[in-house]
Amino acid sequence: MHARFNRAAALQAAAAVAVAIEHHDAAGALSGLLRIDAAPGAFERMQEALDALRAASAGDVSDYLRVVDAGEASRISGIALAHPAWFYPRGGWVDPGALAQSFLARAGSRATLRTGRTVDALRRSGDRWDLIDAAGALLETADAVVLAGAGDALRLVGSPDWPVEAVRGQLSWLALDAWPGAQPQVPVAGSGYVLPPVDGRLIFGATTTVGDSDARVRASDHASNLRRLAVLTGVEPTRVDGIGGRTAWRSSAEDRLPLVGALPALDLLGRGKAPEAGPPPRGHRLDQPRFVPREPGLFICSALGSRGITWSALAAQVLAATITGGPLPLEADLIDAIDPARFVSRAVRRARAG
């Protein structure tokens, strides 16, 4: 399920990033991406997995995925790599802010960006939703609202007790004059990752800590990013006094899939309790996401975890189709897998099982 969703999303992301780079001046490149596997026997295992994928896909997948040995990985990346790697020829990197600007530019006059406002509450107003700020002032009224506020999204619907958590991450950067090694030509990932130089800096990362609300950029996180960088490239910087970084949170669901689609009816969210295992309300079945009744006009696109840039284009297409009733761009089982109603269904099935 994860592999199919990630592949579908990555292909849509590549198309969106190409538009951002070609038409909207976004910094980035689609020259491929390497994911190293340092485990013993990795090369043979990866080739077997690729053969299985070829058989299942009944065709050539080499424009999407290849297995390369350490020598070829080194040639592609321009740095000496000691291990084989998955090579994604259509992978790459992009400035996330510039990708967001590109999406807005593509929407043209159909989208208006308003920043610097916090939605504190949602209020039903006939068949529309009012968006209210902390002072109780009306910010906006809309017939469809998408909760896309990452870790804050579920607060607006009463913080249901769904298995979604905030995972802190810090990435680091160094000026290129502190880097004695060759510069990577494509992103290289393994236990950490390093990007090709951006604005005279080498960007690498990233840490992952659950239950950590410290917004400071920490020296200890820089140190663990530097260790990952050394394992990945076999090179250490000549000095680290100018090291910089950034901290943010990834909102992640326990099952490592996003929440994308129409929200379940608010009275089913249960505020921490599983919906009753007894007869379902209003004659609906609740044990399968697709039968769960929805709250009219309320949608979500959240829990994008550590793949929000990769998932954004496909998630937006699923949402647009859900809101307008258009054809969905994914198979039904994948729609169920990312449907926010899956947590209602799982709670019902668990309660029934005992």
317 contacts 311 by C-beta, under 8 angstroms: no
Q: What are 274's two structure tokens?
A: 């599983």
237 contacts 204 by C-beta, under 8 angstroms: no
Letters for 156-175 (x = contact with ligand FAD by CB under 6 A, - = none) are -------------x-x----
Candidate list 77, 233, 310, 317; residue touching ligand FAD; CB under 6 A:
310
- Of 240-299, binders to ligand FAD (CB under 6 A) are 248, 250
Phi and psi at residue 80, to the nearest 5°: -75, 115
- Shortest Å, Cβ 151 to ligand FAD: 7
302 binds ligand FAD (CB under 6 A): yes
Q: What are 60's two structure tokens?
A: 């050539």
- Shortest Å, Cβ 306 to ligand FAD: 5
228 binds ligand FAD (CB under 6 A): no
Closest CA to 302 of 289, 291, 290, 316: 316
25 contacts 99 by C-beta, under 8 angstroms: no
- Shortest Å, Cβ 329 to ligand FAD: 19
- Shortest Å, Cβ 159 to ligand FAD: 12
Cis link prior to 316 (omega < 30° from 0)? Answer: no
Q: What are 318's two structure tokens?
A: 């699923």
118 binds ligand FAD (CB under 6 A): yes
35 binds ligand FAD (CB under 6 A): no
To which H or E segment does residue 48 belong? helix 42-57
Phi and psi at residue 25, to the nearest 5°: 60, 25
203 binds ligand FAD (CB under 6 A): no
Letters for 138-157 (x = contact with ligand FAD by CB under 6 A, - = none) are ----------xxx-x-----
- Shortest Å, Cβ 317 to ligand FAD: 15
Phi and psi at residue 199, to the nearest 5°: 50, 45
Alpha-carbon span 263 to 102, nearest angstrom: 27
17 binds ligand FAD (CB under 6 A): no
Residue 75 or 117: the one with the smaller Cβ distance to ligand FAD is: 117
Amino acid at 175: A
- Shortest Å, Cβ 107 to ligand FAD: 15
Residue 81 or 300: the one with the smaller Cβ distance to ligand FAD is: 300
63: how many CB neighbours lie within 10 A of its CB? 9
Nearest residue to ligand FAD by CB is: 308
Residues that bind ligand FAD (CB under 6 A): 118-119, 148-150, 152, 169, 171, 205-206, 248, 250, 302, 304-310
